[in-house]
């Protein structure tokens, strides 16, 4: 974790406060406002969009809609707990399991199943037992452990697509890595900026970390085609880069977990020694359980295990060991063929509903009279639609129509329902015509 | 993460070796020879150029900030936007032509260095120390069609990390086949049959959550607010004005709370203020705080020559620490010694801390579990609060609620007024968000369910007291059994000590003998987990201890 992460002037302020506190404390017996060591503190900048919910909650317009939430909602706009998850919980209750600490690396059975889920059981490195990993605190936790690990082992930069999930940047920066971007999305054409992306990748120095979204790129929803992935794989190999995948939507993007893992599996087949973070927040609907995995493909078994031992060194002084319940739920499902099939069906159900909403929204926009090209809404994949609305339009949509989405025009399709799609389409059309 | 070398000139300030890491140290020393190139593990310099505050002042983000009073619920872990850091250099920005070093293309806080010469392929300028491979146009020839398809070299220099000593012992216990083997190593409660114990109220709460079809949505960054509120009342007492004077967040049990507190202090109190931990302390404390970038020093605590508190030494060291230092204190049931100050001694400690303007960082991992009385076990830090000493409190529900594996805890900071509280909350959120976004909800839901239901709460207090009582009984019985076994040592410290552990005074050789000859597994510092003793194994253990300590001394 990085120390000098606040400016010198702020530090000086606090040191002054500390000194002042030290001399003043004799004078006052009460911890008043001024004699407290925290009195000079200022408000930290807030998480930019986290407050979206707050503003939305304060709005009492009856037809208000929020499409900022990155958590799945059913067609009634309600949170959805997968039935297979409920069943798994019941099974676990009946088993009367203890609540002892799990290992630093988490539940071994869970890690084993999680890795097989993404790499595929018949993957060569899996067969050769050279893919190993740890249970992680969902995606964020896995990314942070990875960032700390790589910073500790000589890395100073990481290359991420532009744009990327916002939290990537503070995660890696706080790990001690400098974040750099490679071009990814062309806002003009609402499409992948493939040519420039390849140009930028070719300029990345050898040995650098390159982060890629395994599927359902967040926020744009634009993924490379298989041919494009192939070219990326070859170039990255030629450049000698270190590929790292953020896999947060496996199964949730296309509805088929095997399909959603194709990019990752291709890289592995091509011989890359990849590392990867998986989140089970979206596909299993286990947002609050904080369940994920961080893994590496080693040149051999021993190497992969050594890297895992180093991961544990990062984890132990951070939180000792991970929470058990989420891991137990996923394990219960994935180790049972029927529950696994249920999961696949329910996950596909979520993806299908989202895709239906994409089509519906595009149709409704045309119906509303919009002459703009909204093809990107159905071209994009995953939870979000990168609408192309600019900030002013987004703000107007909030104020005039009480439709809330993030400032970059990113719409969470999960928040769109058959009940509100008309309203949303009209709002979007109104601010963009 | 940054490590700092501490000033070793004072005699009481020891090298911060982790006493509990002994098992791994030899292996680790061997590993150190095998260096990573370039920097070896644990000694990497952080790019000091990355300064957070300038990056936080982006215009878009400021705009959002103005319309937000404070953080709301985190519904969406994707909701941070890139507006957060819009000025991160892109490839195009970084690639400059020769001679452009003094004219940065992008306003980043880092002093710009030319990393690329666009004429040849990326060459790294000589002042870049990080390169694991120097990138010249030659190196591109490493990869051509004739090579095999594996990209080698990424992980090959990664050494094996030293194993965790305590877990190593637990593993050895598991593998042992001796019929009378005893595990008195790991600090988790066991019932009188030697089995893990899930509190009945915990089970009831879990059942209730299942029946209620509890959702699985994200918690806010700061955690479950109801849970945090209950936890604060539990810790500070009913009369405490939580709303206005306590900034509190849910944490990943005690480790997570210490880590958050350490992060907060390193960033906002200044890393030039060392943290003083008792000697000895829970081994992980030192790793946690070092990892946060704090200077870690020790104050005298336990007197091995008397098997009692070294009160004079403790006061001297706390006094000698420079003003504004952070003093880590175990709220009760000190780990590993079980030796706590008396209330009179606490008053003196708090008074001294106050006069030195130190910050008191309390680690409360055994509230209710130590004496059996939750109110009593909170007296030390409550007294400090009453004396207006600024405190941090790391709270764990692992032992007292038996929720070890669900990672439930809180970090709280007592502050002067609600404005300070809001500011501190905002800083804590900004630390948590890039760590794990939001905490896990299952454990906190359980604790909340129990503490908010008067009937369940009452039952809980009794269940917790029962655990404490059984341990107290075992202490007494062990002392008696040792006398019956013929030991002439003074074992009174075993009954004087409190909490999960007894610091017997046995040395490393005796502990090893216990393990090798008798298959009794414990840490080599002579610490035994009382929870691991029961009516079945008590006599066996007492006899074994008598055997290995007969004719020798158990004081240093």
Q: Rounded to an integer, what distance in angstroms lies between the CA atom of residue A252 and that of residue A215?
A: 9
User: Phi and psi of B247, rounded to 5°?
Assistant: -90, 120
According to DSSP, the residues that pair with A384 across neighbouring strands are A412
Which of chain A's residues have a Cβ under 8 Å away from the Cβ of B424?
Answer: 38, 41
What are the per-10-residue average pLDDT scores of chain A (433 residues)?
44 50 39 62 63 81 86 93 97 96 95 98 97 98 98 95 95 97 92 96 96 95 97 96 97 95 98 97 97 97 94 96 98 98 98 96 95 93 92 94 91 94 96 92
Share of chain B above pLDDT 90, in %: 65
Q: What's residue A49's pLDDT?
A: 53
Q: Rounded to an integer, what distance in angstroms lies between the CA atom of residue B367 and that of residue B376?
A: 8
Residue A219 CA to its chain's centroid (Å): 10
Best probe of the B interface among A164, A240, A384, by most B CBs < 10 A, is A240
Q: What's residue A34's pLDDT?
A: 56
The alpha-carbon gap from A367 to the nearest alpha carbon of chain B, in Å, equals 30
Any chain B CB within 8 A of the CB of A331? Answer: no
Any chain A CB within 8 A of the CB of B89? Answer: yes
**CA atoms B540, B543, B549, B554: torsion sign:** positive
State the Cα torsion A53-A55-A59-A63 to the nearest 10°. -50
Q: Provide the 3-class DSSP secondary structure of residue B118.
A: coil
Which of chain B's residues have a Cβ under 8 Å away from the Cβ of A324?
Answer: 405-406
**Which residues are CB-contacts of B26 (< 8 A; sequence separation ≥ 6)?**
none
Inter-chain residue contact B75 with A36, CB threshold 8 Å: no
The alpha-carbon gap from B508 to the nearest alpha carbon of chain A, in Å, equals 25
Which of chain A's residues have a Cβ under 8 Å away from the Cβ of B206?
Answer: 93
Which of chain A's residues have a Cβ under 8 Å away from the Cβ of B28?
Answer: none
Could you report the per-residue pLDDT of B479-517, keeping only the tens digit for each?
Answer: 999 999 999 999 999 999 999 999 999 999 999 999 999
Inter-chain residue contact A70 with B75, CB threshold 8 Å: yes
The alpha-carbon gap from A373 to the nearest alpha carbon of chain B, in Å, equals 25
pLDDT-derived band at B168 (thresholds 50, 70, 90) equals: confident
Q: How many CA atoms lie within 13 A of A108 on its CB side?
A: 1
Inter-chain residue contact A47 with B124, CB threshold 8 Å: no
Q: What's residue B30's pLDDT?
A: 41
Mean pLDDT calculated for residue range B116-143:
29
Inter-chain residue contact B64 with A310, CB threshold 8 Å: no
Mean pLDDT calculated for residue range B120-140:
29
Structure tokens at A16: 């002054």
Given the residues A246, A260, A342, A408, the one annotated as active site: A246
Active site residue A165: yes
Structure tokens at B182: 């005893």
Checking if the pLDDT of B105 tops 50, the result is: no
pLDDT-derived band at B211 (thresholds 50, 70, 90) equals: very high
The alpha-carbon gap from B128 to the nearest alpha carbon of chain A, in Å, equals 10
Inter-chain residue contact A1 with B110, CB threshold 8 Å: no
Inter-chain residue contact B82 with A169, CB threshold 8 Å: yes
Q: What's the whole-model pTM score?
A: 0.82
For B67, the closest chain A residue by CA position comes to A55
Q: Which helix (H) or strand (E) holds A136?
A: strand A131-136
Q: Rounded to an integer, what distance in angstroms lies between the CA atom of residue B365 and that of residue B350?
A: 20
pLDDT-derived band at B153 (thresholds 50, 70, 90) equals: low
Inter-chain Cβ pairs, chain A and chain B, closer than 8 A: 504
Any chain A CB within 8 A of the CB of B152? Answer: yes
Hunting for tokens 């979204």 — which residue is that? A213
Inter-chain residue contact B1 with A176, CB threshold 8 Å: yes
Q: Rounded to an integer, what distance in angstroms lies between the CA atom of residue B265 and that of residue B291?
A: 12
* Closest among A293, A322, A328, A285 to B408, alpha carbons compared: A322
Any chain A CB within 8 A of the CB of B337? Answer: no
Q: Provide the 3-class DSSP secondary structure of residue B64.
A: helix
Best probe of the A interface among B20, B71, B139, B158, by most A CBs < 10 A, is B158
Q: What's residue A41's pLDDT?
A: 66
HEC string for B490-546: CCHHHHHCCCCEEECCCCHHHHHHHHHHHCEECCCCCEEEHHHCCCCCHHHHHHHHH
Task: State ipTM.
Answer: 0.89
Hunting for tokens 């094996």 — which residue is that? B160
Q: Which residues of B are catalytic?
A: 282, 363, 399
Any chain B CB within 8 A of the CB of A409? Answer: no
Inter-chain residue contact A412 with B143, CB threshold 8 Å: no
HEC string for A67-132: CCCCCCECCCCCECCCHHHHHHHHHHHHHCCCCCCCCCCCCHHHHHHHHHHHHCCCCHHHHCCCEE
Q: Which helix (H) or strand (E) holds A153?
A: none
Option in B133, B150, B269 nearest A207 (CB)? B133
Option in A48, A81, A167 nearest B216 (CB)? A81
- A 351-390 residues with CB below 8 A of B? 383-384
Q: Is the peptide bond before B336 cis (omega within 30 degrees of 0)?
A: yes
When mean pLDDT is compared across A259-273, B132-146, B187-201, B231-245, the lowest value belongs to B132-146
* Closest among A342, A349, A214, A347 to A278, alpha carbons compared: A214
When mean pLDDT is compared across B104-108, B111-115, B245-249, B372-376, the lowest value belongs to B111-115
Residue B340 CA to its chain's centroid (Å): 20
Q: What's residue A209's pLDDT?
A: 97
Given the residues A112, A229, A282, A374, the one annotated as active site: A282
Q: Which is higher by pLDDT, A389 or B126?
A: A389
pLDDT-derived band at B186 (thresholds 50, 70, 90) equals: confident
Could you report the per-residue pLDDT of B303-353, keeping only the tens digit for each?
Answer: 999 999 999 999 999 999 999 999 999 999 999 999 999 999 999 999 999
Any chain B CB within 8 A of the CB of A95? Answer: no
Q: How many CA atoms lie within 13 A of A179 on its CB side?
A: 27
pLDDT-derived band at B160 (thresholds 50, 70, 90) equals: confident
For B148, the closest chain A residue by CA position comes to A271
Beta strand A410-412 with A403-404 is: unpaired
The alpha-carbon gap from B160 to the nearest alpha carbon of chain A, in Å, equals 5
**Which residues are CB-contacts of B72 (< 8 A; sequence separation ≥ 6)?**
A50, A51, A52, A53, A54, A55, A57, B220
Could you report the per-residue pLDDT of B25-66, keeping only the tens digit for each?
Answer: 444 444 444 333 333 333 333 333 333 333 333 333 333 333
Structure tokens at B79: 């909701």
Inter-chain residue contact B69 with A163, CB threshold 8 Å: no
Inter-chain residue contact B271 with A324, CB threshold 8 Å: no
Inter-chain residue contact A45 with B56, CB threshold 8 Å: yes
- CB of A53 closer than 8 Å to CB of A397: no
Q: What's residue B112's pLDDT?
A: 30
């Amino acid at each position: 974790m990085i120390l000098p992460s606040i400016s010198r002037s702020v530090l000086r302020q606090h040191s002054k406060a500390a000194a002042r506190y030290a001399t003043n404390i004799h004078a006052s017996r009460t911890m008043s406002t001024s004699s407290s060591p925290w009195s000079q503190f200022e408000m930290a900048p807030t998480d930019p969009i986290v407050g979206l919910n707050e503003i939305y909650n304060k709005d009492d317009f009856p037809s208000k809609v929020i499409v900022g939430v990155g958590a799945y909602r059913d067609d009634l706009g309600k949170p959805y707990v997968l039935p297979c998850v409920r069943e798994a919980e019941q099974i676990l209750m009946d088993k009367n399991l203890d609540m002892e600490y799990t290992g630093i690396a988490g539940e071994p059975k869970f890690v084993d199943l999680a890795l097989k889920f993404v790499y595929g059981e018949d993957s060569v490195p899996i067969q050769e037992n050279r893919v190993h990993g740890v249970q992680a605190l969902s995606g964020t936790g896995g990314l942070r452990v990875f960032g700390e690990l790589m910073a500790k082992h000589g890395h100073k930069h990481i290359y991420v697509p532009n744009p990327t999930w916002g939290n990537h940047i503070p995660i890696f920066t706080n790990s001690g890595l400098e974040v750099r971007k490679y071009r990814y999305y062309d806002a003009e054409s609402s499409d992948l900026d493939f040519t420039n992306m390849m140009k930028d990748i070719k300029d990345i120095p050898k040995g650098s970390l390159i982060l890629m979204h395994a599927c359902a790129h967040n926020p744009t929803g634009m993924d490379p085609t298989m041919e494009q992935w192939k070219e990326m794989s070859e170039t990255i190999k030629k450049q000698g880069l270190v590929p790292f995948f953020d896999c947060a939507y496996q199964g949730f993007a296309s509805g088929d977990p095997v399909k959603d893992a194709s990019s990752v599996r291709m890289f592995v087949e091509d011989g890359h020694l990849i590392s990867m973070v998986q989140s089970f927040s979206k596909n299993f609907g286990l947002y609050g359980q904080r369940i994920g995995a961080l893994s590496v493909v080693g040149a051999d078994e021993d190497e992969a295990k050594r890297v895992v031992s180093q991961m544990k060194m990062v984890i132990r002084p951070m939180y000792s060991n991970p929470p058990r319940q989420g891991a137990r739920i996923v394990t219960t499902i994935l180790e049972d063929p029927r529950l696994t099939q249920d999961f696949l069906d329910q996950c596909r159900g979520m993806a299908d509903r989202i895709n239906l909403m994409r089509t519906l929204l595009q149709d409704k926009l045309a119906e509303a009279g919009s002459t703009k090209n909204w093809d990107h809404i159905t071209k994009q994949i995953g939870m979000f639609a990168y609408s192309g609305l600019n900030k002013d339009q987004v703000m107007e949509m909030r104020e005039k129509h009480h439709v809330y989405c993030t400032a970059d025009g990113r719409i969470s399709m999960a928040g769109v329902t058959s009940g509100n799609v008309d309203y949303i389409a009209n709002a979007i059309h109104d601010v963009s015509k | 993460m940054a490590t700092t070398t501490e000033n070793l000139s004072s005699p009481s300030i020891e090298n911060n070796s982790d006493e509990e890491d002994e098992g791994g140290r030899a292996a680790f020393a061997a590993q150190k020879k095998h260096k990573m190139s370039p920097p070896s593990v644990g000694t990497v310099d952080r790019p000091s150029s990355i300064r957070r505050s300038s990056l936080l002042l982006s215009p878009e983000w400021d705009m959002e900030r103005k319309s937000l009073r404070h953080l709301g619920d985190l519904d969406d872990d994707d909701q941070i936007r890139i507006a957060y850091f819009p000025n991160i250099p892109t490839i195009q920005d970084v690639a400059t032509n020769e001679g452009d070093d003094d004219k940065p293309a992008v306003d980043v806080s880092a002093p710009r260095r030319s990393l690329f010469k666009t004429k040849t392929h990326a060459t790294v300028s000589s002042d870049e120390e990080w390169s694991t491979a120097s990138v010249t146009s030659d190196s591109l020839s490493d990869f051509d069609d004739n090579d095999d398809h594996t990209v080698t070299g990424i992980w090959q220099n990664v050494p094996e990390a030293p194993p965790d000593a305590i877990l190593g012992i637990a593993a050895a216990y598991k593998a042992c086949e001796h019929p009378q083997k005893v595990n008195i190593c790991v600090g988790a409660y066991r019932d009188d049959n030697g089995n893990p114990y899930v509190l009945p109220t915990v089970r009831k709460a879990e059942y209730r959550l299942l029946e209620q079809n509890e959702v699985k949505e994200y918690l806010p960054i700061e955690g479950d607010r109801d849970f945090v509120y209950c936890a604060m009342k539990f810790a500070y007492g009913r009369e405490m004005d939580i709303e206005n004077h306590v900034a509190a967040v849910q944490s990943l049990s005690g480790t997570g709370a210490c880590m958050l507190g350490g992060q907060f202090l390193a960033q906002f109190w200044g890393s030039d203020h060392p943290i003083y931990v008792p000697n000895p302390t829970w081994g992980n404390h030192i790793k946690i705080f070092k990892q946060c970038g704090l200077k870690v020093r020790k104050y005298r605590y336990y007197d091995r020559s008397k098997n009692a508190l070294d009160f004079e030494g403790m006061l001297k060291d706390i006094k000698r620490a420079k003003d504004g230092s952070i003093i880590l204190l175990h709220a009760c049931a000190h780990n590993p010694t079980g030796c706590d100050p008396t209330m009179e001694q606490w008053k003196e400690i708090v008074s001294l801390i106050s006069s030195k303007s130190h910050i008191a960082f309390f680690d409360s991992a055994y509230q209710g579990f130590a004496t059996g009385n939750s109110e009593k076990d909170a007296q030390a830090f409550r007294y400090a609060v009453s004396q207006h000493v600024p405190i941090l409190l790391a709270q764990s529900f692992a032992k007292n609620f038996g929720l070890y594996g669900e990672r439930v805890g809180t970090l709280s900071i007592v502050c002067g007024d609600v404005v300070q509280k809001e500011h501190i909350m905002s800083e804590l959120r900004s630390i948590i968000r890039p760590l794990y976004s939001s905490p896990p909800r299952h454990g906190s839901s359980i604790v909340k369910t129990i503490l908010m239901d008067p009937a369940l709460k009452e039952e809980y207090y009794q269940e917790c007291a029962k655990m404490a009582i059984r341990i107290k009984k075992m202490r007494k019985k062990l002392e008696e059994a040792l006398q019956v076994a013929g030991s002439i040592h003074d074992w009174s410290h075993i009954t004087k000590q409190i909490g999960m552990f007894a610091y017997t005074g046995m040395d490393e050789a005796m502990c090893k003998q216990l393990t090798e000859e008798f298959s009794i597994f414990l840490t080599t510092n002579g610490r035994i987990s009382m929870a691991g003793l029961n009516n079945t194994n008590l006599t066996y253990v007492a006899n074994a201890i008598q055997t290995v300590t007969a004719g020798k001394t158990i004081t240093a």
